[in-house]
Amino acid sequence: MSQDEPTPEGATADGDLAARLAALERENAALRDQVAAGATSPDVVSGGPVPRRRHRGRAIAAVVLILLGVLLAPLAVVANWAQRELTDTDRYLATIGPLAADPAIQSALTNRLTQVAMAELDVPTLVNDALSALEQNRDLPPRVTTALGALEQPLTNGIESFVRRAATSVVESDAFTTAWVDANRVAHEQFVKVMQGEPGNVLQIGDQGQLTIQLAGMIDPLKQKLVDSGFGIAANIPTVNASFTLVQTTQLVKVRNAYNLLDFVGTWLPWISIAFLAAGVLTAVRRSRALVFAGLALALSMLVLGLGLYVGRTLYLGELTGKVQRLDAAQVVFDQIVGFIRASARTVAVLGLVVAAAAYLGGSSDSARTLRAEIGRGFAATRAWAEGRGVTTGPVGEWFFAHRTVVRIAIVALAGLVILLAATPTPALVITVAVVAGVLLALVELIARPGSSVSQPPEGDGVAAHP
């Protein structure tokens, strides 16, 4: 037997090693097949039965809970808007106040004030009496007397034009804007009383759902403007019970009848919707995927709400066609009133998309893992490049590496609190908070460096891949 030939003992050892390697390969292949089939329970690894029914039940429960939260979300946005409009004077003024400066509303108010002034002055009768007195003057030539009859309509139109110019000057003045805001501030306090069934003398809701504001306090500036302009007879205009319709819909009567319920629902329904969404995500077997689904579904529900507002606007204006003189003013009022609903819907939609994107990036899909690994390698290469030039984070970086999970959770939680506690969340706020949180997370990954006693993560999974 030559020296290079293996001994029987060596042959036996090589055979055992080959057998063990083959057994390990078979076990790995079996595990890969089970993982591909979706069996992630410890029972699968140990060869026990797969609890598929339990997983299926959890998946169904998660989908139901998320769908309930998503379906309630548009109702929560509308109910919260209505509740805020009813109880928050500043929110109400932010809605109604800008209408005083809108050209369409100013034109409509000018028309209404002109109509009231002309009716109270009874200009046609006044002109007719003046012309009759002139006709009875025997000193006038017959030609002049004959011509006086043709002057009645031009004189009436001239006075109306004069009154309209004065009304326009009043409505477009800063004093009118202040008076409008003050009147609506008082009106909002009475609005709550009206909703509770008590009578109001500034803001009123008619049986057909007309939400009107009284103009009595706005007639006085017009009277003074006319008198100052030389039209002294305007001082005879009495205190009138004139009004201007802000919005007309039978839904206001229903809102008034359900005021207390609306106040409760508007306060708690958003939290109920959030609770359903959170419960669905926590119940899901694969939470990151459930969070992606919840975020995208929430954004889609806000899109549906936006379409519903568009349809409602079309129907509302269709009902008013032929019933109001200024349909453009009604359109402006509607758009202004539902402006906060649209803003809230956009905010929630952006928030849903941000949450979905964050959940995807932190998920367990192959593409997300690959992306995180690439990001991790990029940060590692940047740190190595800096350390090669004597720039290192030292013990601070080692501390961040040891506590990186806690720091990440703190950043995400703080970002969520900023959005949740904001008085008026906006899409810009959500995007800004998301960008700032992303920058902070990136800085943590860049600063964090493993100590000399800590082994580097495997190449397939960078630091950013940790939850």
Residue 425: alpha-carbon gap to chain centroid: 7
- Residue 43 has a pLDDT of 47
Taking each helix axis as running N to C, give the angle between helix 216-228 and helix 152-171, from 0 to 180 degrees, rounded to the nearest 10.
120
Instruction: Tell me, letter by letter, the H, E, C secondary structure of 297-343.
Output: HHHHHHHHHHHHHHHHHHHHHHHHCCCCCCHHHHHHHHHHHCHHHHH
The better pLDDT of the pair 270, 14 is held by 270
Residue 11, pLDDT > 80, answer no
Q: State the greatest distance between any 2 C-alpha atoms of the chain, in Å, as a whole number.
A: 160
Residue 168, pLDDT > 70, answer yes
- Residue 374 has a pLDDT of 87
Average of per-residue pLDDT across 191-219: 57
- Residue 352 has a pLDDT of 92
For the chain, give every domain's residue range.
53-346, 365-465
412/359 Cα distance (integer angstroms): 12
Tens-digit pLDDT profile for residues 328-345: 777 888 888 888 889 889
- Residue 435 has a pLDDT of 92
pLDDT confidence bin for 258, thresholds 50/70/90? low
- Residue 296 has a pLDDT of 93
- Residue 414 has a pLDDT of 93
Residue 207, pLDDT > 60, answer no
The amino acid occupying position 127 is: V
Residue 297, pLDDT > 90, answer yes
Dihedrals φ, ψ of 250, to 5°? -65, -15
- Residue 177 has a pLDDT of 80
pLDDT confidence bin for 174, thresholds 50/70/90? confident
Residue 76, pLDDT > 60, answer yes
The better pLDDT of the pair 149, 61 is held by 61
User: CA distances (Å), 333 to each of 102, 388, 415, in order?
Assistant: 10, 65, 35
pTM for the structure as a whole: 0.63
278/270 Cα distance (integer angstroms): 12
Instruction: Tell me, letter by letter, the H, E, C secondary structure of 37-90.
Output: CCCCCHHHHCCCCCCHHHHHHHHHHHHHHHHHHHHHHHHHHHHHHHHHHHHCHH
Tens-digit pLDDT profile for residues 374-383: 888 888 888 8
pLDDT confidence bin for 464, thresholds 50/70/90? very low
The better pLDDT of the pair 123, 117 is held by 117
- Residue 106 has a pLDDT of 82
Other beta carbons within 10 angstroms of residue 447's beta carbon come to 18
Report the chain's mean pLDDT, rounded to a whole number.
75
